[in-house]
């Protein structure tokens, strides 16, 4: 099967890769580019563990063909914190113990970033509905919601 050459920007870095037409963005991220922070929980778009930002839009990378990323920008969990400092969402996940096993955490962090970039002051209900595409089986979501609320407050420059 002939492969297609794809040029894309991933976490701000220009990248190129070869992929088969049927390969998902998730498979290329994980298997070809070795960016394994993005997780596979279902490969059917139901769990959100593979959440990435396409330009600034939240998507399940398992539902996107890798060839579709040509000329676009992708942000994965590896691109959320830059340099020495964690993103406030990551910091608050740690402080609130908003993770137990941690497999869903990258997806939640990316999804929460997409929300807070768009809506800096969401209600609890808005957070719950925005994160409804991300499954967590360990926490019951309580501490995740609180971490996102607290991160929003910090990002707005208010003391928590």
Partner 1 sequence: MSEARDYKVIGTRVIRPDGVDKVTGRANFGADFSLPGMLYGKVLRSPHAHARIKKIDTAAASKIEGVYAIATGADFPKVGHEEITGGEGAGDFADLATNVMARDKVVYHGHAVAAVAAISSAIADAALAAIKVEYEVLTPVMDLDAAMADNATLIDERLFTAGLPQKPTKPSNVAAYMEFKRGDIAQGFAEADVVVEGTYRTPTVHQGYIEPHACVASINQGGQATIWCCTQGHFDVRSMTSKVLGLNVADIRVIPSEIGGGFGGKTTVYLEPVAMVLSKKSGRPVKMTMTRDEVFRASGPASATKCTIKIGAKKDGTFTAMSAWLAYEAGGYKGSSMAPGAMCVFAPYVVPHFLIQGYDVLVNKPKVAAYRAPGAPQSMYACESLIDDLARQLKIDPIELRLKNAVSAGSQAAYGPKFNAIGFKECLEAAKKHPNYSAKLGPNEGRGLAAGFWFNAGMQSSAEVHINENGTVTVVEGSPDIGGSRASMALMAAEELGVPYEQVRVLVADTESAGYNNVTGGSRVTFATGMAVIQASRDIIAQCKQRAAATWGIEEELVEWQDGQAIPKPGVNADVKPLSLAQIAANSGRTGGPLLGRASLNARGPGPGFSINMADVRVDPETGKVDVLRFTAIQDAGKAIHPAYVEGQMQGGAVQGIGWALNEEYIYDAKGVMQNAGFLDYRMPVASDLPMIDTWIIEVANPSHPYGVRGVGEVPIVAPLAAVANAVRAATGIRIPDLPLSPPRILAALEAAKA
Question: Judged by CB under 8 A, does residue 154 bind partner 1?
Answer: no
Stretch that binds partner 1, among 2-10, 39-47, 53-61, 152-160 (CB under 8 A): 39-47
Residue 98, judged by CB atoms within 10 A of its CB (0-12, 13-18, 19+), counts as buried
Question: Does 21 help bind partner 1 (rule: CB under 8 A)?
Answer: no
Q: Which CB sits closer to partner 1, 138 or 155?
A: 138
Site pattern 102..121 for partner 1 (x: CB under 8 A): xxxxx--x------------
Nearest approach, Cβ of 159 to partner 1 (angstroms)? 19
For the chain, the 3-state helix, strand and coil shares in percent, each to the nearest 5, are: 40, 20, 40
The verdict on 96 binding partner 1 (CB under 8 A) reads yes
Give me the least distance between CB of 49 and partner 1, in Å please: 6
DSSP-derived pairing of the beta strands 4-10 and 73-75: parallel
By CB under 8 A, residue 75 contacts partner 1: no
- Residue 20 phi/psi, 5-degree rounding, is -80, 150
Closest C-alpha to 111, from 101, 97, 100, 122: 122
Complete DSSP assignment for 95-138: HTT--SS-SSHHHHHHHHHHHHHH-SS--HHHHHHHGGGS--SS
By the criterion CB under 8 A, which residues form the site for partner 1?
Answer: 1, 20, 30, 34-44, 46-47, 49, 76-78, 80-81, 86, 90, 93-97, 99-106, 109, 125, 127-129, 131-146
């Amino acid at each position: 099967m002939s492969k297609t050459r794809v040029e894309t920007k991933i976490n701000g870095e220009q990248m190129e890769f070869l992929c088969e037409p049927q390969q998902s963005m998730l498979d290329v991220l994980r298997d070809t580019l070795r960016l394994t922070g993005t997780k596979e929980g279902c490969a059917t778009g139901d769990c959100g563990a593979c959440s990435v930002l396409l330009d600034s839009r939240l998507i399940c990378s398992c539902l996107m063909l890798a060839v579709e990323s040509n000329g676009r920008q992708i942000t994965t969990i590896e691109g959320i914190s830059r340099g020495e400092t964690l993103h406030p969402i990551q910091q608050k996940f740690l402080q609130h113990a908003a993770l137990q096993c941690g497999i869903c955490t990258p997806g939640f962090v990316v999804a929460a970033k997409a929300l807070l970039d768009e809506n800096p002051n969401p209600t609890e209900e808005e957070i719950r509905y925005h994160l409804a595409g991300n499954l967590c089986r360990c926490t019951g979501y309580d501490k995740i919601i609180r971490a996102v609320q607290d991160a929003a407050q910090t990002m707005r420059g208010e003391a928590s």
